[in-house]
Every structure is written in structure tokens, then in C-alpha cells.
Structure 1
Amino acid sequence: MNRRNIKWLPILIAGIFFAYQYFSSEKFVNPETGRKSHVGLSTEQESALGLQSYQQVLAQAQAIEAGPESEMVKRVAARLASATGTAGRGFDWRESLIRDNQVNAFCLPGGKIVVYSGILPIAQGDAGLATVLGHEMAHATSRHGAQRVLQQNLAQTAMTGIAVSLSDMDYDKQRAVMGALGAGAQFGILMPFGRQHESEADRVGLIYMARAGYDPRESIRFWERMERSSSAQPPEFLSTHPAHGQRIQQLQGWMPEALEEYRKATQR
């Protein structure tokens, strides 16, 4: 085997392992959007990691366990959990309100929800809170975390194969090449993948809130309030989150479907 072939051998081996990782991974179909994907974790692994992270957050935070704000979080989360249907089946839904001025909320895999009190003034009530919680719960039911694990594993496999094939290159040149490839993977693959997840969570979350009996048009008003409260945003291509204007435009496009769900929910 000549030296040129030896240089390509690590890439070939990495390619075979890449294909094995992808095609042997679990397939998942989002029941709301029909989008097909592959995931890098089982539902049991997701739930275990989600519970571990949830316990770590609560151990370092001051939870608000009673009062009207806590009751609102519990009420909205319960209605949304019922609206997730088959996607949320098997989830152990729990919610906690944290005393913290951060404008933030998230839902961990398996259904562990954390709301920071700083987001409540922007939510301005149940429907506003349903907007953000529906979005975060949609990330969990859509298994976005498990999809990202597989995507990152695949990227790491590819980068490792290339790095080994370049091992006899001058160190500075090797760093430059790997840096360029890393940036290309980040901006060309991982970040667009993240934006796809954000848009899917917006769409599915909109359906959840409408199905739970919350007016989906409040989602537009919520994101408008978020836009007014936010500092300057990075350009959309540098962020995994869509710009507020782009997000609102997408929500308006999905609104007819959401309003039909809302009509059905309010006529029961």
C-alpha cells in the first residue's frame, strides 16, 4: 500500500464508522410534523439525563413552591402536558418555578420543566406562559436533544478521521485546516440544524397551546414583547434561534392550523 493510500485510510475508516453510527441509530418520526430523523439516545437515556440535570438545577436554586405565580406555572404546564398527546406519553412531567431574574424557561428530556420568575412579567398571564412552555415542551417531545447528540457524534467521527489523515502535515497548517473545517461544520451543519429545531418547536408548541385552549394569537404578542425587552440580537446566521421578526412571520404562516385546533378545543 503506497503512502497516498495510507493517508486516505483514516478517512475511509471514519466514513464506515460514520455510516454505521447513522444507519444503526434509532429512527424517530415527529407525530405533529411528520418529520423523520435519527436520534443518538434511547428514551430511557434521555429521561435519566433529564432527571439528573433537573435535580442539579433545583439543588442550586431557590424554588417558589406556593403562591399565584407557582399555581399558574403548574396550571399551564398541566394543560399543555395533556395536549402533547402520544408524543408526551411516558413522560414524567414535573415543573418548578425558580426565583431568578433571568428571562428563561426550559424543558429537559423526559418532561422536567424549569421556569425562571424573570420571564413572568413578559408572559403577562397564562396564554403568554403557554407560548414559551409549549415551545420548550415541544423540544422535549420532538427529541431534539437526542438528535443533537447523534449529530455531534457524527461530526466528531468525521473530524477525527480527517485529523488522523493530516497527522504528517505541518502543525500550523494542520491547525488552520482543522479550524476551517470546524467552522464549516459549525456554521454549515450544526447551527442550521439548531435553527430547524427552533422552528419545529415553535410550530409544535403553537399547536400544543391551541389544543390546550390558549389563544395561539397570543404567541405573536409574546414574541413582540420579547423583542422589545431583548438587547441587540446577533445576525440570524450566527444564531441557532431565529430572529424575532422571522419567528413571528413563521408563526403567522402556521396560525390557520393553530386556530383550527383552538376552535376545536374551545367547543368541547
Structure 2
Amino acid sequence: MERRHIKWLPLLLAGVFLAYQYFSSEKFVNPETGRKSHVAMSTRDEALLGLQTYQQVLAQSDTISTGPEFETVKGVASRLASATGKAGADFDWQVSLIHSPEVNAFCLPGGKIVVYTGILPVTQNEAALATVLGYEMAHATSRHGSQRVLEQNFAQTALTGVAMSLSDMELGAGAQFGVLMPFSRKHESEADAIGLHYMARAGYDPRESIHFWQRMENTGRAQPPEFLSSHPSHGTRIQQLQAEMPKALEEYNKSSAAQPRSSL
């Protein structure tokens, strides 16, 4: 076999393995958007991974389980959990409040929510907190984490094959910015839109999401250029939320003040 043919063999093998990964992976249709995707693991495995991570975080943290702040966080999360509908029907929703100055909150696969007290002065009110939690919960119900795992597996396999074929090229940065980052921004934008609808259905004014991100934009926190970030810039995020706002307001106007509660 000629050398030039051997040179391209790793790329061919990588293509075969990519095809196998793709067709053997689980398929998922987002019930909110109808977008079809492939995920790296089953919902059961996602939930187990989420539970393990949740337990590890709590074991290393100072949790708050009583008091007005905890009741506020629990109440907002409960209303949002009910608003997830079919997407979150099989989730075992649970929320914990951690005493920490860190400005952060996240929702793990399977419905385990963690909120840090440091974010509460930033959100300022329940509707803004619903903006943050709705967005985080949308990541979980949309199974973005499992999609990212599969995408990274694809990228790593492709990079390995191409790098072995074209060893003189620097491909790592190009793949990071040209392949992985756009997928990540897609997930961020999808979570923003779905989270907006969650908060509207839960009875929180979706217009507060705009005010929240405007406050974030005005805090002076440094942001990397958008093309180097997995998150949309605050300005882009606000524009996308404004475009989605008419539909969200329709849901908000239909929502009842007495929202059904999910057991958290």
C-alpha cells in the first residue's frame, strides 16, 4: 500500500467509529422545541450521575434548610418544576441552598438543584430568581449535558483521526472554537428560551428576565469576546429573550396565580 493511502487510514477509521457512535447513541426529541438530537447516556444514567454529583457537593458545603431565604428558593423551584410539564415529569426534583458568597446556581441531570446564597442579592426578587433557575432547569430537561458529552466524544475522535493524518496542523484550537463552541452556544440559547417559558407558566413575569440580564450587563463583570465564549454576551441574550417575549407573555397571561406545586 502506498504511503499516501496509509496516511489517510486513521481518518477513515475515525469516520467508521463516528458513524458507529452516532447510530448507537440514544435519540432525544426536546418536548419544548421539537429539536432532535443524540445523547450519550440514558435518562437513568444521567439521573444517577446527577445524584452522585449532588451528594458530593452537599457533603462539602454549608447547607441551609430553614428560614425565609430557603423557603423563597424552595417555593420558586417548586413552581418552576410544575411548569416543566412533560419534560420534567420523570425528574426527582430537589433543591438545596448553600451558604456561600459565590454567585451561582445549577440544576443537575435528574432534577437536583443547587442555589448559592451569593446569587440572591443579584437576583433581588423571585421573578429574577425564576429567570436563573428556569434557565438552569431547562438545561437539565433538554439533556444538554448528555448531548455535550456525545459532541465532545465526536470531536475528540475526529481530531484524533485528522491529527494522525495531518500531523503538521494545529487543530485543537480550531475545533474548540469552530465546532464545540457553537454547539454550546446553541444549548445556552435554547435554555434561555425554554427557561423563559417555564417562568411564564409558573406565574412569574417573563419581562423580569430582561431586567435581570440588564443588571448583569451593568455590573461591569468582564466578559470574553462572544466568539470565544460558550455563553452568549449579555446583549445577545437580551435580544434573543426579547424576540421570544411575545409568546412568553401569552403564557404568563394565561397562567393562574395558584400554581400546582411539585413535591420538593
Shorter-normalised TM-score: what interval?
A: over 0.9
Runs of 4 or more consecutive aligned structure 1 residues displaced over 3 Å after TM superposition:
163-166
Unmatched runs of 5 consecutive residues or more in structure 1 = 167-173
Q: Which moved more, 1:32-41 or 1:202-211?
A: 32-41
Please give the secondary structure, in 2, of the residue aligned with 1:266: coil
2:123 is aligned to 123
Q: Which amino acid aligns with 1:155?
A: A
- Equivalent pairs counted in the alignment come to 258
Q: Which amino acid aligns with 1:213?
A: G
C-alpha distance in structure 2 between counterparts of 1:14 and 1:161, whole Å: 5
Unmatched runs of 5 consecutive residues or more in structure 2 = 259-264
1:206 is aligned to 196
C-alpha distance in structure 1 between counterparts of 2:7 and 2:102, whole Å: 50
CA deviation string 1:120-170 (max 9, x = no partner): 01111211110000000000000000000100111111122233335xxxx
CA deviation string 1:82-130 (max 9, x = no partner): 0000100111111011111111100011111010111101111211110
Change (3 A) 1:252 1:57: same
Q: CA deviation at 1:207?
A: 0.2
2:262 is aligned to none
Give the superposed CA RMSD: 1.3
Q: 2:175 aligns with which of 179, 185, 199?
A: 185
Q: 1:216 aligns with which of 206, 210, 230?
A: 206
Q: CA deviation at 1:43?
A: 0.6
CA deviation string 1:184-237 (max 9, x = no partner): 110001111111101000000000000001010111111111222241211111
TM-score (norm 1): 0.93
Please give the secondary structure, in 2, of the residue aligned with 1:194: helix
Q: Percent identity?
A: 72
CA deviation string 1:47-101 (max 9, x = no partner): 1111111111111110111110000111000100000001001111110111111
2:231 is aligned to 241
1:89 is aligned to 89
Q: Which moved more, 1:117-126 or 1:132-141?
A: 117-126
Q: Which amino acid aligns with 1:195?
A: R
1:254 is aligned to 244
C-alpha distance in structure 2 between counterparts of 1:267 and 1:112, whole Å: 25
